[in-house]
Amino acid sequence: MVIKEANFITSAARAEQFLTPQKPMIAVCGKSNAGKSTLINMLAGRKKLAKTSGDPGRTRLVNYFDFGQFLLADLPGYGYAAVAKSEKEKWAKLLDDFFLQKEHIAHVFLLSDIRRDPSEDDVQMVSFLNYHIVPFTVILTKSDKLSRMKVKEQTRRVAQKYGLGEANVLAVSGVSGDGKDALLAKISQIIAN
């Protein structure tokens, strides 16, 4: 698969603003600061399509991107973010509302920093996706921060922790581009179904 063009479409703050996709839609979710925006920029081959920040909790809306053959929905991060409890509750409601419309979601990429073991929030998200029978792949980001041997070890460990096959866990780096080909192959598989 070759992504020729990627564009920001719109943001949604409430369920009634969610898009009804006319092509496969992949949702990107994960803890705050897991590397969601960096992953989107890597796929697009652009540095600033999705805004990145060193501060967790910058994505507060559902942001939609058109990648030609598919749409990508960037969801607010869960877990740590230095924001008010009321703001976190708003994000949680937005995520719940988004996943209530699971018939519009072709696949979910659940992002997690490869240097960290899965958190309670990550485990809860995997349980939620399994319970609601939403297909997903765990994407371990920031793989450039570890040696190749450590990347393999951590990929295996995360797969075991979630009870997944290793093919359902991909390690990528938005900095070096490692894992991009495997990710594009996974996207091709998703949109072919």
- DSSP 8-state symbol, 119: P
Task: List, for residues 121-164, the tens digit of each pLDDT value.
Answer: 899 899 989 988 999 999 999 999 999 999 999 999 999 999 99
pLDDT, residue 59, reads 52
Tell me the C-alpha distance between 10 and 160, whole Å: 37
Below-50 pLDDT ranges, the chain: 55-58
Distances (CA, A) of 75 to 30, 44, 47: 8, 17, 19
pLDDT, residue 135, reads 96
